Structure 1
Amino acid sequence: MSTKKTVLITGAGSGIGRAMAIEGARRGYALILTGRTVANLEATRDMIGVGDVTLVPGDVTTRDGRAAMVAATGGRLDILINNAGVLAVGHLRDLDDDRLNRVVATNLIAPMAVARDLLPSLEAAQGRVVNVGSVFGDIAYPFFAAYSATKFGLRGFSDALRREMSGRGVGVTYIAPRATQTAAEAEFAALVEPMDMTMDMPARVATQAWDAIEAGKRESFPRGKERLFVKIQRLFPSIIDKAVGAQARDPKTLRALETVSKA
């Protein structure tokens, strides 16, 4: 029987989830990788090479998908990384009900449901829930209104669950990366320059996230100006209102927004 600690990662077929899987394997964890697309999960496994990797194709927004994840743990799980997420970028007026429902279902309802369903396995191992949020979960960005709302919710859920599980042996870590160079970047690439976004590589995000997880931290933010902005946001939100509001009104931003995909 393997003595490795086991981590389950949702959305492991690309981006931050793939990088978290690769870094987790490097650190010696047994991996359960979930995602909607088998080929993408297989590509992640191939990048890892030799390792203890189980693939569980499925959709975190469905009961069947979550049931398959629960079954794969065998009743014991050391770390759950809720990473799966989708973007919704553009003017709020352009986001129809389907897009709003999809971003809320994937980014907020699914992590809560996955954590709920896996709590028995996590309690059995005295494990940890890791929720991958965003700096936008503190600094609400214009044209990312729905996405920011879900990440604010995920941060609140993380705090509430941490307090609910205190004394029961299950820890909670909230990870808040800034903009990251993934396939999803194509949805907002035109806004990176006019909104002065700093982009990180997924591997850097994964390394910092794993450091925070293994240190048992309650939350982790990127090093740099965003960490300072989060502190200002929490203490003096009107300052951030003025700065980010000016970016939103800037003609360069509005011109760039015209090229953002509505898909």
Structure 2
Amino acid sequence: MSGKMVLITGAGSGIGRALALEADRLGHRLILVGRREEGLRETASSLSRKARIVLADVTAPDGREAIRAAAGEEGLDILINNAGRLASGGIEGLKDADLAELVATNIAGPVALTRDLLPALEQRRGQVVNIGSVFGDIGFPYFALYSASKFALRGFSEALRRELAPRGISVTYIAPRATRTAATENFRALIGPMAMALDDPDAVARHAWRAISARKREQFPKSRERFFVALQRLRPQLIDRALAGMAKDPAVIAAARSAETGEKA
């Protein structure tokens, strides 16, 4: 599997950039999408072949139209819905503007962009890849909104897979655990108290591309989290007890309050 045309949203940093670099190593051609030109150009400069840059916001109709036009000109084999936002802290500290922006980026944007790019994908019996999270299976305290958005993306992926299968389009859901990116700053105070393990984005990208290349239905990290996901599906009450206990830990509560205010714990 090489020489495919791959479109990646949120390609200017973090997992998106790592996915682009790995795609380039595998011999694919790239359309890099994001809101920040500097980040996209940095990604493009690290590639071995020229990539097309599309400066666009997936939550805006005119942004999606620019993406659709680029895909129409280049053709499209793989759409990777990677752009996302993260929110942490207690639910009482959540602001309406943050709620609306996260839902628009993590749910509405991928759904609308996938809809808009279906004609291009259908021409090549392509593939939709949604970058979710382990938090989309295991709802973590103090990540309620983020978990909700990834649960929604996982449900969208599952339903879409069944809907598009007769049209020859596959859907792959990728669920990494916490990853060491700039977004980590949003929940740094919670990493220690919640005993989180963070993966390197390059390792996440290599693991993800193995699933993408095989057109697998879903992929989870090769770590203890895979076991916890299975346990969550079979015996959710056990996970309830463990995470409810964590949620009442004074150190976790203090860290969650710090995450809400942006202070360093």
Q: Same fold per TM (> 0.5)?
A: yes
Distance between the aligned counterparts of 2:102 and 2:194, measured in 1?
Answer: 22
Distance between the aligned counterparts of 1:148 and 1:195, measured in 2?
Answer: 16
Q: CA deviation at 1:47?
A: 1.9
Question: Which runs of 4 or more aligned residues in structure 1 lie more than 2 Å from their structure 2 counterparts after TM superposition?
Answer: none
Q: For the Cα contact (< 8 Å) 1:14–1:44, is it kept in 2?
A: yes
Q: For the Cα contact (< 8 Å) 2:130–2:157, is it kept in 1?
A: yes
TM-score by length of 2: 0.96
Name the residue aligned to 2:57.
Answer: 59
Distance between the aligned counterparts of 2:26 and 2:260, measured in 1?
Answer: 38
State, as a whole percentage, how many aligned pairs show the same letter. Answer: 55
Residue 232 to residue 24, structure 1, CA distance change in 2 (3 Å): same
Distance between the aligned counterparts of 1:248 and 1:242, measured in 2?
Answer: 10
Q: For the Cα contact (< 8 Å) 2:88–2:256, is it kept in 1?
A: no
Q: For the Cα contact (< 8 Å) 1:77–1:125, is it kept in 2?
A: yes
Q: For the Cα contact (< 8 Å) 1:6–1:29, is it kept in 2?
A: yes
Q: Secondary structure at the match of 2:251?
A: helix
Deviations 1:96-133 (A, max 9, x none): 11111011000000000010000000000110000000
Distance between the aligned counterparts of 2:211 and 2:80, measured in 1?
Answer: 12
Distance between the aligned counterparts of 1:108 and 1:259, measured in 2?
Answer: 26
Deviations 1:20-56 (A, max 9, x none): 00000010010000000001100111122x3130000
User: RMSD of the alignment, in Å?
Assistant: 1.1
Name the residue aligned to 2:131.
Answer: 132
Name the residue aligned to 1:84.
Answer: 83
Distance between the aligned counterparts of 2:183 and 2:153, measured in 1?
Answer: 19
Q: For the Cα contact (< 8 Å) 2:93–2:260, is it kept in 1?
A: no
Name the residue aligned to 2:115.
Answer: 116
Q: For the Cα contact (< 8 Å) 1:19–1:203, is it kept in 2?
A: yes
Q: CA deviation at 1:216?
A: 1.1
Distance between the aligned counterparts of 1:205 and 1:235, measured in 2?
Answer: 26
TM-score by length of 1: 0.97
Distance between the aligned counterparts of 1:164 and 1:255, measured in 2?
Answer: 44
Residue 262 to residue 86, structure 1, CA distance change in 2 (3 Å): farther
Q: CA deviation at 1:259?
A: 2.1
Q: CA deviation at 1:251?
A: 1.0
Query: How many residues were matched structurally?
Result: 260
Unaligned runs of 5+ in 2: none
Q: For the Cα contact (< 8 Å) 2:135–2:147, is it kept in 1?
A: yes
Q: For the Cα contact (< 8 Å) 2:164–2:170, is it kept in 1?
A: yes
Q: Does 1:37 align with 2:71?
A: no
Aligned 1:88-99 pairs, distance under 5 A: 88-99=87-98
Unaligned runs of 5+ in 1: none
Distance between the aligned counterparts of 1:47 and 1:250, measured in 2?
Answer: 44
Q: Secondary structure at the match of 1:9?
A: strand
Q: For the Cα contact (< 8 Å) 1:89–1:262, is it kept in 2?
A: no
Tell me which moved more, 72-81 or 112-121.
72-81
Q: Secondary structure at the match of 1:181?
A: coil
Deviations 1:199-243 (A, max 9, x none): 000001100100000011100000111000000000100000001
Q: Secondary structure at the match of 1:81?
A: strand
Name the residue aligned to 1:212.
Answer: 211
Deviations 1:67-121 (A, max 9, x none): 1111111263100000000011111011111111011000000000010000000
Q: Does 1:72 align with 2:70?
A: yes
